[in-house]
Amino acid sequence: MPYFEGSDGARLFYKDWGSGPAVVFSHGWPLSSDAWDVELKLLADNGFRAIAHDRRGHGRSEQTWAGNDMDTYAADLSALVDGLGLSEVVVVGHSTGGGEAVRYAVRHGAGKVRKVVTAGAVPPVMVQSDKNPDGTPLSAFDGIRDSVLGDRSQYWKDLAVPFYGFNRDGAAVSQGLIDDFWRQGMNAGLASAYDCVKAFSETDFTEDLKALDVPILIAHGDDDQIVPIHDSAAKTAELVKYGTLRVYPGASHGIHGEYQQQFDRDLLDFLRS
């Protein structure tokens, strides 16, 4: 299996499929690059080089004690791009990975990144504060941390239900998706999964979004129960210079089903434009 050295020498796993213009994917919490497999194959089949890594502490990557923060995540992504000698890349990020992609593009990607795509992404900032009164209260994230510490195996099973919108009336529940969410979650290290809650909820990307100087496709489901659209994509679209907001009616946080089919078509169109 291929590995690269992260920004501090951590041993991190990645996938590299196909050939052509490079598209680099960052996954959500608590998942791994496996969450992007459908998109990786789709792009590789359509003339792109599709690359995705397991964030430190997730999947097959080293479970580091330090560096479980957004600045290090972005630096790790930079190490991957530079290590592979990539240029003119498109970075794609879901949820936590959307924040990682935006921070990477602004802090490390000048002259290397030509486009950004986010889906269900956490920017500008999730946690409630005086500056962000519409955000999610800190107590909710404290509850997530308590669940991760208390019984993360059961928590991943429980979290998968709203993640994919399976708690909605008439939803076609996939036990396979729930099981796969659990599988990927259980491959995340405890310390890394715990620390990542602070990274995805408290990191403020407002200035990153204002500084972003390349086109960005901002994809989001309007029934996202994990990262509510009104406090994320809607605000992101107002902060960036060259943004396109694509709202998917009834879509959940997890990319699956009809939402995935629509998103994948939009992704290919955006890459080719």
What is the separation, in whole angstroms, between the first and last Cα of the chain?
33
Domain count, the chain: 1
Q: In CATH, what number is assigned to the domain containing residue 190?
A: 3.40.50.1820
For 138, the domain range is 3-272
Q: What is the mean pLDDT of the chain?
A: 98
Sign, Cα dihedral of 15, 175, 30, 126: positive
Return the pLDDT at 159: 98
Q: What is the pLDDT of residues 244-256, one digit of tens each?
A: 999 999 999 999 9
Residues known to be catalytic: 95, 224, 253
Q: How far apart are CA 63 and CA 188, in angstroms?
A: 8
Q: How far apart are CA 5 and CA 9, in angstroms?
A: 5
What are the backbone dihedrals phi and psi of residue 28, each rounded to the nearest 5 degrees, phi first?
-90, 175
Region 229-234: mean pLDDT is: 97
Torsion angle of C-alpha atoms 23, 24, 29, 31, degrees rounded to 10? 90
Residue 1 has pLDDT above 70, yes or no: no
Return the pLDDT at 80: 98
pTM for this predicted structure: 0.97
User: How far are the Cα atoms of 80, 108, 239 from residue 242, in angstroms, in the given order?
Assistant: 26, 19, 9
Q: What is the pLDDT of residues 77-131, one digit of tens each?
A: 999 999 999 999 999 999 999 999 999 999 999 999 999 999 999 999 999 999 9
Q: Given the DSSP bridges, would you call strands 49-53 and 11-17 parallel, antiparallel or unpaired?
A: antiparallel
Return the pLDDT at 237: 98
